[in-house]
Amino acid sequence: MKWRRKLLLAIALLFASLGMLMLLVHVRGLRMWEDYCAQVRAAGDPVRLEDVIPASVPDAENVAMAEIFRELFQDESSARLAKNSLASVYRRSSDDELISTPTGWLVRGEDRYVREWLEFLKGLEKESSRSKPTTLEPPLSLSPNKELQLRLRQYDSLWDELSVAVRRPYCRWPLEYQEGARMKSPHNSSVIKLAPLLKARLTAHAACDDTSQYVRDLTTAFSLSRHLSNTQMSMLSTLVANTFWNTTLNTMQRTAGAVTLSDAELAMIQEHASVQALQGLLQALKKDQVLSTDTLLNINVNELASLLDGDFGSMLSGQSERLQKLQATLILSRPSGWRLGELAARHRESRTLWKQSVSHDFQYIQTGSLEAIRNRSLQLEENSRWLSYDSMFALAEIVTPRMFERAAQVQASSNAAVLWCAVERYRLRYERLPDSLETLAPEFVKKVPVDPMHGGPMRYLKTKSGGYLIYSIGPNGIDDGGQGSGSTRDLDWVWASGPGLAQND
């Protein structure tokens, strides 16, 4: 009998020790979380879900409350933006092949690019049952430029409403913010689908040298991009905002040279084209961290089990659903302090790396910083603990360097657009190109922006044909002499004053 008492006593002591250990881990984790929250609040950054919910604004001053956007949240299926018939970036040919929207350049005096758009638009109208035909059939004698502009008139009322809406001072989307990362954002997909219409309209206005309409549509697109950037709540909304910035800037590069712009119009475009993409990304990462924390603290077993599956998932990846649910159950069964302590440690590490990745003025990415983020992701994946959120942190961190690169790409295009406007204003004033970008300051630009990749100067190169290139050296950190385009990753990010100037355009 004595051995039984000793066994029971040993078991009791074991459970008591485990209980004390759990209590210590719980208390320590709570203290870590409190310290982390205090540190973040002291820096003026969000901690809890209520910290990232935007303040209410009057409907009359809210872009999202304009009828053109409000429809998306009332009944998306019948909303005009969702039913936009020029929303596809592809059409089918007679051979059932997919043909994408034209990607060429508009050259003054040439109509090849306009004819490509006309062919695309006519093909899309034929295959779309929702498309509205133009009220006026273009006469045979009408030029391709005028015909394209006429065919796009069916979208004038839609774009006019957009132009008025985006000039409101604030934007607060009517989302269910209390749902955190689960909140539905129907406006994102509809905004992305505006890209083909934007490209076609700018091409048509530029081809007709309709300066006032061109400037109006371009500044409308910039204003919408800015509202999207200023209301970033997650990585999805960040991607949407950056995608629309890139679309607008790239279309401007390929069409603006065909428009006769005055100094005042160039100055207006210059102001609208400026963005702080890296600073916006940092704010979005912090908000997304808050959303993910709220999700992990309120997640159920089935939801967590699905997140643990996949190539980047748990140690049980590819095994039975029952084992995945077991792991999820054990993770969620940990004391709350344990989970909060883990979140505090991981979040602090992430924020430290993010802060070190960008210059103190948010103008460029520090050399080698993105590699540090990639290495951390690999370490989290390789050393993933079974009772932890490590696999999910690894998955989130592996895409972060690419997000920084995309933000830098937007910043590079924005810087180049600002400088292009400054160069063209200089040329209007002095009837020649400047010898260097430094010549533009402070008369045509307050300060010459730096290269967002690595912080060196933006490059400027005059060509033998009388054109010029403005470019960033891109992610590879090497000046390739203007080889590349705005979308290449291994070469320079180039803004060309005309077609055929960038070698890889």
What are 105-146's pLDDT values in tens digits? Answer: 999 888 999 999 998 888 877 766 544 554 455 665 788 999
Assign 459 to helix, strand or coil: strand
pLDDT at 303: 83
Between residues 461 and 24, which one has the greater pLDDT?
461
Which stretch of 69-73, 217-221, 376-380, 427-431 has the lowest confidence by average pLDDT? 376-380
Counting DSSP H helices and E strands in the chain, the numbers are 17, 5
Quick one: pLDDT band at residue 157, thresholds 50, 70, 90?
very high
Helix, strand, coil percent content, the chain, rounded in steps of 5: 60, 5, 35
Nearest Cα residue to 485 out of 213, 241, 246:
246
State how far the Cα of 239 lies from the Cα of 261, in Å rounded to an integer: 31
Q: What does the block give as tokens for 89?
A: 């970036």
To the nearest whole percent, how much of the chain has pLDDT over 90?
47
Between residues 152 and 489, which one has the greater pLDDT?
152
pLDDT at 161: 95
Mean pLDDT on 21-32 = 81
Q: Does position 228 have pLDDT exceeding 70, yes or no?
A: yes
Assign 493 to helix, strand or coil: strand
**DSSP string covering 330-394:** HHHHS-HHHHHHHHHHHHHHHHHHHHHHB-TTSSSBPTTHHHHHHHHHHHHHHT--TTSSHHHHH
| Helix or strand run (H / E) with residue 505 | none
Quick one: pLDDT band at residue 269, thresholds 50, 70, 90?
very high
| Helix or strand run (H / E) with residue 99 | strand 98-100
Q: Which residue type sits at 1?
A: M
User: Can you name the residues that pair with 460 across neighbouring β-strands?
Assistant: 470
Q: What does the block give as tokens for 499?
A: 């077609």
pLDDT at 502: 58
Instruction: Give the count of beta carbons closer than 10 Å to the beta carbon of residue 79.
Output: 20
Instruction: Give the count of beta carbons closer than 10 Å to the beta carbon of residue 137.
Output: 10
pLDDT at 325: 84
Which stretch of 6-10, 394-398, 488-492 has the lowest confidence by average pLDDT? 6-10
pLDDT at 4: 67
Arithmetic mean of pLDDT over the chain: 85
Instruction: Give the count of beta carbons closer than 10 Å to the beta carbon of residue 51.
Output: 13
Quick one: pLDDT band at residue 335, thresholds 50, 70, 90?
confident
Nearest Cα residue to 81 out of 89, 73, 90:
73
Q: What does the block give as tokens for 417?
A: 């657009």
Q: Is beta strand 98-100 parallel, antiparallel or unpaired with respect to 468-472?
A: unpaired
**Cβ(433)–Cβ(444) below 8 Å:** no
Q: Does position 501 have pLDDT exceeding 70, yes or no?
A: no
Quick one: pLDDT band at residue 336, thresholds 50, 70, 90?
confident
Quick one: pLDDT band at residue 378, thresholds 50, 70, 90?
confident
DSSP assigned state of 496: E
DSSP assigned state of 173: -
Quick one: pLDDT band at residue 489, thresholds 50, 70, 90?
low
- Torsion angle in degrees (nearest 10) through CA of 92, 95, 100, 106: -110
Give me the residue spans of the domains in the chain. 30-52+283-357+369-404, 62-260
Unique residue bearing structure tokens 């490590």: 390
pLDDT at 312: 39
Which stretch of 167-176, 372-381, 495-504 has the lowest confidence by average pLDDT? 495-504
State how far the Cα of 208 lies from the Cα of 262, in Å rounded to an integer: 16
Handedness of CA 494, 496, 499, 502 (dihedral sign): negative
pLDDT at 487: 59
Handedness of CA 235, 237, 238, 244 (dihedral sign): positive
| Helix or strand run (H / E) with residue 460 | strand 459-462
Q: What does the block give as tokens for 207?
A: 């081809």
Is pTM beyond 0.85 here? yes
- Residue pLDDT, tens place only, 57-116: 999 999 999 999 999 888 888 888 887 777 776 666 666 666 788 888 999 888 999 999
Q: Which residue type sits at 360?
A: H
To the nearest whole percent, how much of the chain has pLDDT over 70?
86
- Residue 166 CB contacts under 8 Å (≥ 6 apart), including other chains: 63, 220, 223, 224, 227
Q: What does the block give as tokens for 10?
A: 């040993």
pLDDT at 22: 66
Mean pLDDT on 435-461 = 94
- Residue 270 CB contacts under 8 Å (≥ 6 apart), including other chains: 417, 418, 421, 422, 425, 445
Max distance between CA atoms of the chain, in angstroms, equals: 110
Handedness of CA 12, 14, 17, 19 (dihedral sign): negative
Nearest Cα residue to 498 out of 255, 214, 335:
255
Unique residue bearing structure tokens 């400088």: 419
Handedness of CA 58, 60, 64, 70 (dihedral sign): positive
Instruction: Give the count of beta carbons closer than 10 Å to the beta carbon of residue 267.
Output: 15
**DSSP string covering 191-260:** HHTTHHHHHHHHHHHHHTT-HHHHHHHHHHHHHHHHHHHHT--SHHHHHHHHHHHHHHHHHHHHHGGGS-
Burial zone of 119 (CB within 10 Å; 0-12 exposed, 13-18 middle, 19+ buried): middle
Unique residue bearing structure tokens 């180049």: 416
Alpha helices (H) along 64-111: 67-74
